[in-house]
């Protein structure tokens, strides 16, 4: 079920109605959420419910064993079991075919013919999200950052909670598990905040992101047929699309969760207003950035082992972050590009000037430069192969810039990007996500009406969320 589909709206309405009827009965509500989550995920392909059940079972018992074991060796064994189970499932379903294909290609370079019989494996939707979430839980228990959950029902809900199951945010156990175990009340303020999140989320996805998809797809179907101006516009369109798509999903997930009394973490913080690559990764997909920083970068030594080792750690972390997004060399290239930006920034002096606020022209220069770097990076992300990356970059930097068809691309893309950035500038200025709730009542009603009418006029076009493939 897609959020941007009528079946989900009916599904959620039924679940929410029953949830309200079970008020003050926390365990009954949790049982409802578990059943609803499995129905939601099973609607994609019921065969993959076993993978969620496997991760849930292994990590539930592994965490308890880690906490109760007096022997460090035994604790490490149970942690290893959790890692093998989670990363093994992820490796088989997501990376086995890619590894086999890459090995055959490498053999061909040396004029060797190798054929590996690997079956076509269907990638379970959202597998990277829930495996990282449950693996992060056992890692936190192993390091003493959180207590093991002794309630199997609560833990099963933590792993499979349907609003954030297939595209995050990746929740930490010490933030989300207490919310599952405690009694929840639906308050008027939660309904108001949830409504803002849901309407803004659907507007970002249905009106902004989905309107960009046909233009971006048109260019990437044959990039060699277009001039440099359209290449840049198409990549701006994709930057708008992926942000509206992913941030829109997160807002909808946070909104429908808030209606039920849950508070999911914020996954985005105006990323295209960042003034450096490091600042961008503090704002974009923050739950994944936090996961990688805590469970990989710091474990590799972080910045404690000298500048050379720090740069290596940054590069390895971002390469893994790129590979997390997909089993393809374009994602490896994208991760390497992001790692290189972070390494270069680490070598350069801090441009923020300590406690002194930089001048407005200087801030605009760094924000614009960072956005252009990220825009080039999205080219690597959107392309499906290294050869396509070469074609698109050739058109962007060395091709004939003029293209008479550019106007047809320019006005919808620039309009959508401007609307998105105006909303982000408003949030950045207010230093709050709840900009609409803080606006005067008539302004809020007018904006909500505009959102609803825009969504209704566009309609649900059944365009899937980009991050569902990860």
Q: What is the pLDDT of residue 467?
A: 87
Residue 164 shares a structural domain with residue 193: no
Q: Is 176 in the same domain as 217?
A: no
Cβ-contact 289, 265 below 8 angstroms: no
Residues 166 and 194 in one domain: no
- Note whether residue 319 is domain-resident: no
Q: Is residue 324 part of a domain?
A: no
Do residue 101 and residue 213 come from a single domain? Answer: no
Q: Does residue 237 lie in a domain region?
A: yes
The verdict on residue 218 lying in a domain is yes
The answer to whether residue 293 is domain-embedded is: no
**Same-domain status, 420 and 458:** yes
Terminal Cα distance for the chain, rounded: 16
What pTM was estimated for this model as a whole?
Answer: 0.94
Domains of the chain: total: 2
| Domain match, 31 and 129 both | yes
351 catalytically annotated: no
- Domain endpoint, select from 134, 167, 185: 185
> What does the pLDDT read at residue 264?
96
- Please give the chain's pLDDT, 470 residues, in tens: 888 889 999 999 999 999 999 998 999 999 999 999 999 999 988 888 999 999 999 999 999 999 999 899 999 999 999 999 999 998 888 887 777 676 666 666 666 666 665 556 778 888 999 999 999 999 999 999 999 999 999 999 999 999 999 998 999 999 999 999 999 988 999 999 999 999 999 999 999 999 999 999 999 999 999 999 999 999 999 999 999 999 999 999 999 999 999 999 999 999 999 999 999 999 999 999 999 999 999 999 988 888 889 999 999 999 999 999 988 899 999 999 999 999 999 888 776 656 677 778 888 999 999 999 999 999 999 998 899 999 999 999 988 888 888 999 999 999 999 999 999 999 999 999 999 998 899 999 999 999 999 999 988 887 888 888 77
Which of the residues 175, 285, 325, 346 is marked catalytic? 325
Looking at the domain assignment, is residue 230 inside a domain? yes
Do 111 and 20 fall within a single domain? yes
Q: Is residue 58 part of a domain?
A: yes
Which of 150, 185, 220 is where one domain is finished? 185
* 358 and 445 share one domain: yes
Q: Are residues 365 and 465 in the same domain?
A: yes
Same domain, 152 and 198: no
* Domain edge (last residue) among 166, 185, 204: 185
What pLDDT, on a 0 to 100 scale, did the predictor assign at position 161?
A: 97
229 & 213 share domain: yes
Residue 342 lies in a domain: no
Q: Which domain holds residue 216?
A: 189-275+351-469
Is 447 found in the same domain as 422? yes
């Amino acid at each position: 079920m897609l959020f941007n589909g009528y079946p989900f709206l009916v599904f959620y309405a039924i679940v929410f109605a029953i949830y309200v009827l079970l008020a003050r009965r926390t365990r009954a509500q949790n049982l409802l959420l578990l059943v609803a989550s499995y129905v939601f995920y099973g609607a994609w392909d019921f065969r993959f419910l076993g993978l969620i059940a496997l991760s849930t079972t292994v990590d539930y018992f592994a965490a308890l064993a880690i906490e109760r074991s007096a022997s460090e060796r035994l604790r490490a064994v149970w942690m290893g079991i959790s890692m093998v189970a989670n990363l093994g499932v992820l490796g088989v379903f997501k990376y086995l075919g890619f590894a086999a294909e890459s090995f055959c290609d490498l053999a061909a370079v040396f004029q060797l013919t190798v054929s590996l019989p690997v079956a076509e494996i269907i990638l379970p939707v959202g597998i990277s999200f829930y495996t990282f979430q449950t693996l992060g839980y056992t890692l936190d228990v192993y390091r003493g950052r959180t207590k093991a959950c002794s309630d199997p029902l609560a833990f099963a809900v933590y792993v499979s909670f349907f609003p954030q199951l297939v595209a995050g945010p990746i929740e930490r156990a010490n933030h989300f598990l207490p919310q599952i175990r405690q009694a929840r009340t639906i308050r008027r303020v939660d309904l108001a905040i949830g409504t803002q999140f849901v309407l803004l989320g659907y507007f970002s996805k249905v009106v902004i992101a989905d309107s960009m998809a046909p233009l971006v797809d048109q260019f990437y179907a044959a990039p060699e047929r277009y001039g440099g101006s359209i290449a840049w516009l198409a990549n701006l369109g994709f930057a708008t699309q992926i942000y509206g798509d992913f941030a829109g999903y997160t807002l909808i997930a946070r909104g429908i969760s808030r209606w039920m009394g849950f508070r999911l973490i914020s996954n985005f913080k105006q990323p295209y207003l960042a003034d450096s690559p490091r600042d961008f990764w503090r704002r974009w997909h923050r739950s994944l950035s936090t996961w990688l920083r805590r469970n990989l970068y710091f474990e590799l030594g972080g910045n404690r082992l000298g500048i050379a080792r720090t740069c290596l750690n940054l590069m390895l972390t971002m390469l893994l972050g790129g590979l997390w997004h997909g089993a393809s060399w374009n994602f490896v290239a994208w991760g390497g590009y992001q790692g290189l930006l972070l390494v270069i920034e680490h070598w350069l002096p801090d441009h923020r000037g300590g406690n002194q606020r930089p001048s407005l022209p200087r801030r605009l220069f760094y924000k614009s430069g960072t956005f252009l770097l990220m825009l080039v990076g999205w080219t690597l992300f959107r392309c499906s192969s290294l050869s396509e990356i070469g074609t698109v970059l050739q058109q962007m930097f060395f091709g004939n810039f003029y293209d008479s068809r550019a106007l047809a691309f320019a006005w919808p893309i620039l309009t959508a990007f401007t609307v998105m950035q105006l909303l982000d500038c408003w949030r950045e200025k207010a230093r709050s996500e709840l900009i609409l709730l803080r606006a005067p009542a008539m302004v809020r009603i007018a904006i909500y009406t505009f959102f609803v009418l825009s969504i209704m006029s566009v309609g649900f076009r059944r365009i899937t969320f980009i991050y569902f493939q990860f």
